[in-house]
């Protein structure tokens, strides 16, 4: 399993907002820790859902939490053998639905990703984050207002 660190999440937030935001360390730590499971941690969608939920409900950053959650989620999924299977507007709808608690995080993850035919697991984490940001500019733009 590949995991994002607190530093990765902080860097994602800087990239998607274009600024250094104040943050709550404990909320950030809780969100990052959502990726982990005790014992044999192989439940990629479940672990991704916990991280997504914590990034959105605990909102560790002063701004850009939805955009940070999107890129962190997609990076974690891609780093662990999953690919996005929906278009940009559906990704935004699902992230927004989790943020407004109208859909469960695991349902959103299962709707937007599936095991990949080609894995991106060999790509270094920072390079994968950059790839996700570049690949999902439309979704990032749609999530920007009010984020």
- Give the percent of the chain with pLDDT over 70: 97
Instruction: Return mean pLDDT, the chain.
Output: 94
Whether 122 shows a pLDDT value over 90: the answer reads no
Whether 96 shows a pLDDT value over 90: the answer reads yes
The dihedral through the CA atoms of 133, 136, 138, 142 has a sign that is negative
Q: What is the pLDDT of residues 11-46, one digit of tens each?
A: 999 999 999 999 999 999 999 999 998 766 789 999
What residues does each domain of the chain span?
Answer: 6-143
Whole-prediction pTM: 0.94
Domain 6-143 has CATH 1.10.287: no
Q: What is the pLDDT of residue 4?
A: 96
85 in Cβ contact with 112 (< 8 Å): yes
SS3 59: coil
Q: What is the pLDDT of residue 16?
A: 97
Q: Which band of pLDDT confidence, cut at 50, 70 and 90, is reported for residue 147?
A: very high
Give Cβ neighbours of residue 87 (< 8 Å, ≥ 6 apart): none
Task: Give the max Cα distance, the chain.
Answer: 40
Q: What is the pLDDT of residue 98?
A: 98
Q: Which band of pLDDT confidence, cut at 50, 70 and 90, is reported for residue 107?
A: very high
Q: Which band of pLDDT confidence, cut at 50, 70 and 90, is reported for residue 119?
A: low
Lowest mean pLDDT among 4-8, 45-49, 120-124: 120-124
């Amino acid at each position: 399993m590949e995991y994002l660190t607190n530093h990765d999440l902080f860097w994602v937030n800087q990239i998607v907002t274009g600024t250094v935001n104040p943050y709550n360390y404990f909320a950030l730590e809780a969100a990052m820790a959502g990726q982990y499971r005790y014992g044999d941690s192989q439940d990629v969608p479940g672990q991704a859902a916990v991280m997504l939920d914590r990034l959105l409900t605990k909102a560790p950053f002063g701004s850009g939490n939805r955009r940070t959650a999107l890129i962190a989620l997609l990076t974690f999924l891609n780093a662990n053998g999953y690919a996005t299977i929906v278009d940009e507007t559906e990704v935004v709808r699902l992230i927004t639905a989790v943020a407004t608690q109208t859909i469960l995080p695991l349902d959103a993850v299962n709707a937007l990703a599936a095991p990949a035919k080609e894995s991106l697991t060999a790509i270094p984490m920072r390079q994968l984050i950059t790839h996700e940001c570049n690949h999902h500019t439309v979704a990032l733009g749609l999530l920007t207002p009010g984020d």
